Structure 1
């Protein structure tokens, strides 16, 4: 594992010279990483405190993929200012994310989990759009930091009990301590975010640059899911408390889906739809059965690609119209007919239409949650219906109708933009053919 860490460290001088070569090297890192993994469900590639199992492997791949596409999406940064600092931040962020997902020690996981906030915050503050980005950055920072302080105390308590913080060692420990359960889960529920803890997410997305939105939707939300999957097994004796979190997240998913239907900002709509999708993952993981765990993992991968792609589409429209409002971004099918196809493909993937990976994950999560409780069927029914509703609303409102007459000049999509969208959509729809790899979790 150290070879990948050193490869990223030695890439730092490259950040100050060539913009596009960085992206090539990220793809190279990913290729070598896939080739050197042995596809087993226990830890491999062990070095120092790091090791990769199937769950870490998939999320590290997603991290490298999204970080490379962030460079491709951020053409404006290349043409304007501080591009070297921007590339350095992406490099550091990827380094920290790989360390987070490959940590085999609970304290190291916590340390890098918190460190990943800093480059994201700097991306929002440095390259965001409106002055409100400072407030959005503070929301992001304080929500996460405040919730994670009890977890730090919980880690020290586990060390005092267990004399070890290795994941392999603490998995043998079963705790019925309610305070420990709360201190470990609240931080992940804020990171997801669960309904009631979600206020930082739409703010951060709306104010963030395209690269910030991509990394937030693609990876940062998945840190919560990864942590919960790793640590929920510690609390098997008091698993009954999961019921309350599941009820809040399922009900919250329905409410947020309705909130999506009255958004006028494209980015805000996509951000709220992320909260609805995350509530499904919370429900699946908290059932504590195998089907729910795999479904949650598949949805984390599929949502990372789909949501990131939709933010790219919103940004492509924003770069032309200079507004994200749905009232101004109308009739785009007249102005950018080829981009309209990509809007359709990614919107349909967002509502879990076949053959997207979202469909596979929703089938798994629905089966898992309904097997746990039949009453959840009502909320799942509403969530599935409204998810199709807001995806169609976003597509039809932005593509059809009379386009804004104040648009002075307009350019169709560039090859870079089509390639960017293709690299989001292809893995999202081809991975369903290799669904069996997720069974090795």
Structure 2
């Protein structure tokens, strides 16, 4: 595991040369394949070196991080062309990737916490530095305070746990019946905000709207997954408490997912719609984790990987339209099939994946989550039906409104798309639909 960390550290001096922009993109791409062939295909800890290691749970998420980071650089061509501090941008990207890599490969709870928190700083700088509107300052403050407010109790909980057990290694985490409710809430609240759970989700649409395309991709693709990953790791501690309290969280996530789906139907901004759809999907993930059964755990993991690729691809598409028209409004983006016919195919493919059409991984995740939630209590059936139905409704609304309809008369013509953009969307869509063939990797980690 250290070899990849050192490789990234030695890429930092490379980031201070403008010509190295695409070189670093290629190296990230290369590293994702390198990591794939390292083979952490085991539910036990593999590739252990010092505090780092990977099992199947972290393996998929590290792979996703490398992949999305490579695609982020591909999407940020405008920063390179206009030289909008492209060297500093690459530096931030590398620091962020190092933090994410260390977060997912940490085998120690406290080190995990440190890297989990420090991944916030480069994200904040990405949003504040390369965002579009002046409101990005407010978005940055929302992001910072929501996350930090929730994280401090977690640190106290980790210290308390260490005091009781004298070890913070993930390998030795076990069910501890003496934990009280305060301990439970303070340990998982940071992850609930990061996911985000409905009611603590307000920072997400704000951050997405103000972030540049790279910020949106990393936020939707990986940073939301940190919350789910953390929950999957620490839930081992709270088996007995979760039996009592999980009903509350499942109710909130199901009802919240449904309400957010309704909010999606009222949006006119492409990015806000995609951001709210993330909240709805992650609500299902949270519900699956809280059922505490293997269907739920596996389904939530599959859903996290699938959502990371799908949501990131949709943000790319929104940005491609934004670069042409300088507007994210659906009223301006109407009838794009007339101007960019080839791009409509990609809109359709990624939208259909977003509403869990076969053969995408979203379908596999959603079926597993349906199974786990219905087996937990039959009453969730109602909300699951509504959730699945409305996810199709708002995705179709997004697709049909942006591609069909009368062309907005203020725009004349625009270039149909660069090869780079089609490549970018292809690399989002192909793993999303091919990984279902290797679904054992995602369903057997437990």
Q: TM-score range by the shorter chain?
A: over 0.9
- The 8 Å contact of residues 285 and 293 in structure 1, kept in 2 or not, is answered as yes
Counterpart for residue 14 of structure 2: 14
Deviation for aligned residue 1:440? 2.4
Counterpart for residue 153 of structure 2: 150
Counterpart for residue 72 of structure 2: 70
Counterpart-to-counterpart distance in 2, 1:250 and 1:409: 43
| SS at 2:332 equivalent | coil
- The 8 Å contact of residues 335 and 404 in structure 2, kept in 1 or not, is answered as yes
Counterpart-to-counterpart distance in 2, 1:24 and 1:308: 19
Counterpart-to-counterpart distance in 1, 2:175 and 2:329: 52
Aligned residues: 441
Counterpart for residue 340 of structure 2: 336
- The 8 Å contact of residues 105 and 167 in structure 1, kept in 2 or not, is answered as yes
Counterpart for residue 269 of structure 1: 273
Counterpart-to-counterpart distance in 1, 2:136 and 2:165: 42
* 1:179-221 per-position Cα deviation (integer Å, ceiling 9, x unaligned): 1100011111100000000000000000000000000000000
Counterpart for residue 367 of structure 2: 363
Counterpart-to-counterpart distance in 2, 1:409 and 1:356: 33
Equivalent residue in structure 1 for 2:34, among 22, 29, 32:
32
Counterpart for residue 373 of structure 1: 377
Q: How does 1:215-294 map onto structure 2 within 5 Å?
A: 215-239=218-242, 240-294=244-298
Equivalent residue in structure 1 for 2:60, among 58, 61, 65:
58
- The 8 Å contact of residues 175 and 235 in structure 1, kept in 2 or not, is answered as no
Deviation for aligned residue 1:300? 0.4
The structure 1 segments of at least 4 consecutive aligned residues displaced by more than 6 Å after TM superposition are none
Q: Indicate whether 1:118 and 2:112 are aligned.
A: no
| SS at 1:342 equivalent | helix
Counterpart-to-counterpart distance in 2, 1:39 and 1:255: 38
Counterpart for residue 3 of structure 2: 3
| SS at 1:45 equivalent | strand
Deviation for aligned residue 1:175? 4.1
| SS at 1:326 equivalent | coil
- The 8 Å contact of residues 299 and 443 in structure 2, kept in 1 or not, is answered as no
Counterpart-to-counterpart distance in 1, 2:359 and 2:230: 29
Equivalent residue in structure 2 for 1:45, among 35, 44, 47:
47
Counterpart for residue 431 of structure 1: 435
Q: Indicate whether 1:196 and 2:215 are aligned.
A: no
- The 8 Å contact of residues 246 and 290 in structure 2, kept in 1 or not, is answered as yes
**What TM-score do the two structures reach when normalised by structure 2?**
0.98
Deviation for aligned residue 1:174? 4.2
Equivalent residue in structure 1 for 2:421, among 414, 417, 424:
417
| SS at 1:295 equivalent | helix
- The 8 Å contact of residues 106 and 112 in structure 2, kept in 1 or not, is answered as yes
Distance 1:100 1:249, change over 3 A: same
- The 8 Å contact of residues 175 and 236 in structure 1, kept in 2 or not, is answered as no
* 1:63-113 per-position Cα deviation (integer Å, ceiling 9, x unaligned): 000000000000100012200000111111110001000111110000000
Q: Indicate whether 1:133 and 2:136 are aligned.
A: yes
Counterpart-to-counterpart distance in 2, 1:172 and 1:161: 12
Counterpart-to-counterpart distance in 2, 1:221 and 1:261: 22
Counterpart-to-counterpart distance in 1, 2:280 and 2:340: 29
| SS at 2:327 equivalent | coil
Equivalent residue in structure 1 for 2:317, among 313, 319, 339:
313
Deviation for aligned residue 1:347? 0.5
| SS at 1:46 equivalent | strand
Q: Indicate whether 1:206 and 2:217 are aligned.
A: no
Deviation for aligned residue 1:40? 1.2
Deviation for aligned residue 1:260? 0.1
| SS at 1:243 equivalent | helix
Counterpart-to-counterpart distance in 2, 1:87 and 1:267: 24
Counterpart for residue 98 of structure 2: 95
Deviation for aligned residue 1:436? 1.4
Point out where structure 1 has 5 or more consecutive residues left out of the alignment: none
Deviation for aligned residue 1:138? 0.6
Point out where structure 2 has 5 or more consecutive residues left out of the alignment: none
Distance 1:372 1:172, change over 3 A: closer
Counterpart for residue 397 of structure 2: 393
- The 8 Å contact of residues 73 and 211 in structure 1, kept in 2 or not, is answered as yes
- The 8 Å contact of residues 205 and 267 in structure 1, kept in 2 or not, is answered as yes
Deviation for aligned residue 1:236? 1.3
- The 8 Å contact of residues 175 and 240 in structure 2, kept in 1 or not, is answered as no
Q: How does 1:155-194 map onto structure 2 within 5 Å?
A: 155-171=158-174, 173-194=176-197
Greater Cα offset, 35-44 or 111-120: 35-44
